[in-house]
Structure 1
Amino acid sequence: MNSNIQEDNKYFIIDLFAGAGGMSNGFEQTGCFKTIGAVELNQSALKTFINNHSTFAGLETFSDIKKVDFSKVDVFNSVPKKDLIVIGGPPCQGFSNANRQRNNLISGNNQLVKEYVRAIRQLKPAAFVMENVKTIKSDKHKFFVTNGRIKLADGEVDIFSTEEYLTKELGVEIENTSLTLIRSSNKSKMLENILHIIVEEQNEVSPIISGQNNSYLSQIRSLHRRLSKSNYIQAKNKIEARVFERMSEVINMTNSCELIAPVIRETALILDKLSSGARLFASDIKEVIETFMSINHFLLCIKELQGEDIKYKLNKPVITKGVLTVSAEVKSYNVLDYVLKSLEKEGYIVKDMVLNATDYGVPQKRNRFFLIGINTNAASNDINIKEPSKIASESFTVYDAFASLIKYMPGKDVKDNIILNISIEERIKTNSRLEKYYTEGYKNTIVKNHINTESKDMSIRRFESLDQGQNFHDLSDDLKSNYTDTSRTQNTVYLRLKHDEPSRTVVNVRKSMWIHPEYNRSISIREAARLQTFPDSFEFFGKKDEQYQQIGNAVPPLLARAVAEKILELLNKKPKYPIGEVLNQHLEVNV
């Protein structure tokens, strides 16, 4: 073993999709784990991770998991398999045919679950933990059968998504699925004819504006929305006129076939007129713009299917009740079914469960999916995986999280690097049941990241009108006036927290404008971190919104700690610092 990581009675963690490091922090709190590697694409989150896991000089970090060949990372391979643990929460989004105007047909995030499975396959750890949204168990979470032509990071062809492998090797159930590529009420015969030709002749036609020109895609959609609201269109200013000019240049440079050349010419002509200051009637240009958008979206969908190597067959365009639809037939299978059977094939006994964070000392209502796997070669006894035992006899509250911070007003600028020093005596007087935990056994008195947002006058008026437990929908109509569709606003927006209850699920609470229970202000980065049970010593880095986002995306460390203790139990070990000692004996300290 590499001498840098030699340590008795320790398991070594590789944290995939690590974020700020909430899960690995929870594991390390047991005293039995040390993090040796992390993969995280977001650079501010990775900076936070590194700065809070720097006790190990040989920490290996990577950004793009798709480029990591785990079998060739020396630090990982220097650890005995029996001492290696892989953890992580790969993003996974549900699939829906309801909205085909979104940027992506297939959620690329779902493919990252396969990358997690690949990491397990290559590393063969003693145990793994996968965390995710509880809805991952639903049928909305799908993968699609591929042709088996894409190469993985190790250079091997990805056969693991082919129909033959899925059915013969894993026994995964496959079903036929229809993907709606385009649904348009545009009555343009040009659109209908072009789609018919592309489908019938299977012509390979490139998108007019591709993803690399995303800003122009957004601009054309914005133009289309304005056509629906106004009788005429004109460039708002010189800047927008220049944008229209540049858009015309971009689409004129497209190397598309003659089939869609008329659409390109007509759209470019409209953009040229707008760039020169012309005022055009919406009724004269709407059909052209809609045709352009529909064709481009359809071609983007085809490009995505091909780029993801998905096996598909295009259906002929159909018009029903004035709506033109084109779909593709694909074969799909359930994400969780694939994960379970893939990891069982690799020699793991697996168990999935949904855990409520409040049962494990987190002052927050948060239900999350966990998949625990134990390598049959790593445990000496028969393996029977059960949920971690509940730790908290009663729920901890927002007050328990905020108590020692209540009298300290947050700063406004992350650059100020405000540091609070809250004495042990002061903390104990609050009677918070979590202070011993936040201070790591009353060893740390320093608090950083107590920063929030400078609220505007309208926000403060809203704060002032809401009582604990109320939210945006409890505001008077005059305080909702700048919201276009109030019915679509979630009930977590402008939520004033209640001191005597756990909070709702923590997201990016800056965007949601969560309000302090007692003061007319938004909650701070540190207060959000405490709701997630990050110890006060855990420091966040990046811009203000990036720090809030890191916290919202994280696995609560206390919840992770409970899962870590279950892993130790399954491997016939005991935690050095049991979670119960911190939560159930919070006032036993000599000051």
Structure 2
Amino acid sequence: MYRLLDLFAGAGGMSLGFMQTERFDIAVAVEKNDYAKATYERNHENTEVLSDILDITDYDSFKRSYGEFDVIVGGPPCQGFSNANRQRNHIISQNNSLVKKYVEVILKLKPKAFVMENVRMLKSDIHRFYCTHSDGVEFEQLGIVTRNETICLLDTECPVGDIYEYLFNPAILNELILPDKVFYALRMLHKNSRKEETREKALSKGKQCIKHISVLPQRSPAISRQYINFEQASLNAFIRYAGEEIEFEDAEHEILSYLNVQRLMMHAKELLDNNIAVRNLKVDQRGVYVDANSYSVIDYIGKRLGQLYQIDDGVLNAAWFGVPQLRERYIAIGLRKDLHLQPELPVKVYKEAEYLTVFDAIQDLEQIHPVFNTEDDPIPLNNEFEATELTRLLRNSVMLSNHVATETRETAQKRFEALGQGQNFHDLDRSLIENTYTRPERTQNSIYLRLEYGKPSGTVTNVRKSMWIHPTIPRAISIREAARLQSFPDDYVFVGTKDSQYQQVGNAVPPIMGRAIAAKLAEMLDLCRGLSNMQGGLADGGHIDNRRTQQDDVQNKVEEHCS
């Protein structure tokens, strides 16, 4: 048995896949989300589950407590930066540091092998991080290529003329940036006042905004007179509007200007807090900008881990291994260089015409009505169902847990009934959406998707938020049905709130996909063990070509578990 550490373990899909090969002991897992951690502990009773990877700092102490590991697996959250991030009021994803931490743990613990799972687009140039002040020397040594990026901190003219003098002064920013709850209250007052139909509701909370403003501290002598005058005029406009002394149209310019300057300072503080190396601050009529260097995430991972490991990476589709879902994920497998074996990803088992389908996964549950509360008891199952390759594997319990769905309201019910298999939001009549969606053309094709029995599903995310519809019944897909599409067996029980269970399922690595990766890795580690027992190496220079055995190994594993 190979000892394994699972980082960012989630609900435990990758761990389950590795366990199903009976070749790995999942000794320790790390998961910060409380609900996902509870689900992991519920289903992996013999694994020590820790809460936060950032708590792993003393690696000698960690090894004394938990021993050595043959394998580390994990899928660190990785969003990089993008325009989408900025629309969410953030320039930098707070998860970016976790990728570096994942790499650090591997390099410090030095397992024989690692597996990294992540979004398909990680291999593209889209996923980039900004360079920090501490990256320079290391990046030069590793040959990591950087490029210049212009970061927009404000996309309109700044109303404070001397902002450039103190925009990156930490002490002044800490004084001027509003507390979160105050900024939120003022922002919501503005947002809900822009439409006449919601203005009255916004003004009902006006007194709360006035109270927030009245307790703001007096500015210190370090703050410029120009900024103080601007802030006083802006907050006075808030007070007069919230007190219904003036109309929204008369106050909006000052209100919006103040909110924009607050966002500008929040962005600057975000760059400072993340130690981003910025330069060339520009303030003009178009807005406020700074320059920074960026680097490719995949280049960073490859070159950092490539110091110690041989790596094979690529995009795998879960459907290739028997998951009834088209789910493409970036997978990297690394073997320590002193093992003298070039790693390889598992190869495709199922051809496209052979892909398992939604029917294979959930048709047997068609006559079992879901419940609506997570507290309800599991549902008894009988043996009266049409067996498929998947149900022989997944229907492994006499009780059906997590067959919980969202109750459908009248409007959603009409939409459910109007859609046929394979259709989605964009196939609905305009009369069914115009009262809910102001910009329907921007809605994704996965929203109100009615699944097709004869095909694999699309990528399972949080299908409650996406409002996925059962193929033949006008209702939402249940948590258990989503779990089946992810290839979780019925005896794997999810815990937590309803939405958290849907989210856990959507975030998970499909266990069948994890099992295919694990089977291939076990085969390679076995070869390494055999190689280490040989005297004098191999005739071809000490490297083993294992490609010939891989296809039969994975196929045998699928047949073994589906027989």
TM-score when normalising by structure 2: 0.88
Partner of residue 22, structure 1:
13
Residue from 412, 425, 429 that aligns with 1:476: 429
The total of aligned residue pairs comes to 536
Partner of residue 5, structure 1:
none
What SS does the corresponding residue of 2:517 show, helix, strand or coil?
helix
CA deviation after TM superposition for structure 1 residue 46, in Å: 0.6
Partner of residue 174, structure 1:
146
The CA distance in 1 between the partners of 2:453 and 2:176, in whole Å, is 51
CA deviation after TM superposition for structure 1 residue 75, in Å: 6.1
Partner of residue 533, structure 2:
none
Decide whether aligned partners of structure 1 residues 564 and 287 sit closer, same or farther in structure 2, where only a CA change above 3 A counts.
same
Partner of residue 459, structure 1:
412
Q: Deviations over 1:299-334 (max 9, x none)?
A: 111211111111112423122xxxx32111212211
Partner of residue 326, structure 1:
288
CA deviation after TM superposition for structure 1 residue 570, in Å: 1.5
After TM superposition, list the pairs within 5 Å mapping 1:357-396 onto structure 2: 357-377=318-338, 379=339, 382-393=340-351, 394-396=354-356
Partner of residue 161, structure 2:
193
What SS does the corresponding residue of 1:355 show, helix, strand or coil?
strand
Amino acid at match of 1:438: L
CA deviation after TM superposition for structure 1 residue 62, in Å: 2.6
The CA distance in 1 between the partners of 2:144 and 2:157, in whole Å, is 38
Decide whether aligned partners of structure 1 residues 342 and 582 sit closer, same or farther in structure 2, where only a CA change above 3 A counts.
closer
Q: Deviations over 1:486-520 (max 9, x none)?
A: 11111111111001100010010001110001111
CA deviation after TM superposition for structure 1 residue 181, in Å: 1.1
The CA distance in 2 between the partners of 1:30 and 1:451, in whole Å, is 30
Amino acid at match of 1:344: G
After TM superposition, list the pairs within 5 Å mapping 1:505-520 onto structure 2: 505-520=459-474
What SS does the corresponding residue of 1:415 show, helix, strand or coil?
coil
CA deviation after TM superposition for structure 1 residue 230, in Å: 4.9
CA deviation after TM superposition for structure 1 residue 48, in Å: 0.4
CA deviation after TM superposition for structure 1 residue 437, in Å: 1.5
After TM superposition, list the pairs within 5 Å mapping 1:401-480 onto structure 2: 401-423=361-383, 426-427=384-385, 430-439=386-395, 444-480=397-433
CA deviation after TM superposition for structure 1 residue 252, in Å: 4.4
1:184 aligns to 2:156 (yes or no): yes
Q: Deviations over 1:333-388 (max 9, x none)?
A: 1111011100011x1101111001110100001110011111123x3xx4232220
The CA distance in 2 between the partners of 1:33 and 1:183, in whole Å, is 52
Partner of residue 262, structure 1:
229
The CA distance in 2 between the partners of 1:17 and 1:510, in whole Å, is 23
1:340 aligns to 2:302 (yes or no): yes
What SS does the corresponding residue of 1:316 show, helix, strand or coil?
strand
After TM superposition, list the pairs within 5 Å mapping 1:63-462 onto structure 2: 63-69=51-57, 71-74=59-62, 78-81=66-69, 84-97=70-83, 100-148=86-134, 162-168=135-141, 170-184=142-156, 191-198=159-166, 205-206=172-173, 210=177, 213-226=179-192, 228-230=194-196, 236=202, 238=204, 240-249=205-214, 251-252=216-217, 257-259=223-225, 260-276=227-243, 278-319=244-285, 324-345=286-307, 347-377=308-338, 379=339, 382-393=340-351, 394-423=354-383, 426-427=384-385, 430-439=386-395, 444-462=397-415
Amino acid at match of 1:432: T
Amino acid at match of 1:413: N
Amino acid at match of 1:39: V
Does the 8 Å contact 1:422/1:447 carry over to 2? no
**Higher mean Cα deviation, 264-273 or 300-309?**
264-273
Amino acid at match of 2:502: Y
What SS does the corresponding residue of 2:375 show, helix, strand or coil?
helix
CA deviation after TM superposition for structure 1 residue 171, in Å: 1.2
CA deviation after TM superposition for structure 1 residue 133, in Å: 0.6
Does the 8 Å contact 1:352/1:372 carry over to 2? yes
Partner of residue 51, structure 1:
42
Amino acid at match of 1:280: I
Does the 8 Å contact 1:127/1:372 carry over to 2? yes
CA deviation after TM superposition for structure 1 residue 241, in Å: 2.6
The CA distance in 1 between the partners of 2:132 and 2:561, in whole Å, is 54
What SS does the corresponding residue of 1:571 show, helix, strand or coil?
helix
Decide whether aligned partners of structure 1 residues 390 and 140 sit closer, same or farther in structure 2, where only a CA change above 3 A counts.
closer
| Two-structure CA RMSD over aligned residues (Å) | 2.7
What SS does the corresponding residue of 1:431 show, helix, strand or coil?
coil
Amino acid at match of 1:163: G
CA deviation after TM superposition for structure 1 residue 233, in Å: 5.8
Amino acid at match of 2:559: N
Amino acid at match of 1:198: Y
What SS does the corresponding residue of 1:263 show, helix, strand or coil?
helix
Decide whether aligned partners of structure 1 residues 301 and 355 sit closer, same or farther in structure 2, where only a CA change above 3 A counts.
same
The CA distance in 2 between the partners of 1:500 and 1:142, in whole Å, is 38
Decide whether aligned partners of structure 1 residues 35 and 308 sit closer, same or farther in structure 2, where only a CA change above 3 A counts.
same
CA deviation after TM superposition for structure 1 residue 73, in Å: 4.8
TM-score when normalising by structure 1: 0.84
Q: Deviations over 1:94-121 (max 9, x none)?
A: 4225774532211122221111101101
Does the 8 Å contact 1:207/1:296 carry over to 2? no
Decide whether aligned partners of structure 1 residues 219 and 438 sit closer, same or farther in structure 2, where only a CA change above 3 A counts.
same
Decide whether aligned partners of structure 1 residues 390 and 572 sit closer, same or farther in structure 2, where only a CA change above 3 A counts.
same
CA deviation after TM superposition for structure 1 residue 216, in Å: 3.6
Give structure 2 stretches of 5+ with no counterpart. Answer: 528-548
CA deviation after TM superposition for structure 1 residue 288, in Å: 1.3
The CA distance in 2 between the partners of 1:48 and 1:537, in whole Å, is 12
Amino acid at match of 2:233: E
Amino acid at match of 1:178: T
1:31 aligns to 2:33 (yes or no): no
What SS does the corresponding residue of 2:149 show, helix, strand or coil?
strand
What SS does the corresponding residue of 1:572 show, helix, strand or coil?
helix
The CA distance in 2 between the partners of 1:99 and 1:80, in whole Å, is 38
Does the 8 Å contact 1:233/1:281 carry over to 2? no
Decide whether aligned partners of structure 1 residues 563 and 203 sit closer, same or farther in structure 2, where only a CA change above 3 A counts.
closer
Does the 8 Å contact 1:397/1:499 carry over to 2? yes
Does the 8 Å contact 2:390/2:562 carry over to 1? no
After TM superposition, list the pairs within 5 Å mapping 1:522-541 onto structure 2: 522-541=476-495
CA deviation after TM superposition for structure 1 residue 220, in Å: 2.9
Give structure 1 stretches of 5+ with no counterpart. Answer: 1-9, 149-161
Amino acid at match of 1:174: T
The CA distance in 2 between the partners of 1:538 and 1:118, in whole Å, is 32
1:497 aligns to 2:459 (yes or no): no
Does the 8 Å contact 1:357/1:559 carry over to 2? yes
The CA distance in 2 between the partners of 1:116 and 1:26, in whole Å, is 21
Does the 8 Å contact 1:173/1:333 carry over to 2? yes
Does the 8 Å contact 1:30/1:578 carry over to 2? no
Q: Deviations over 1:142-189 (max 9, x none)?
A: 2222223xxxxxxxxxxxxx2111112x11112222211111157xxx
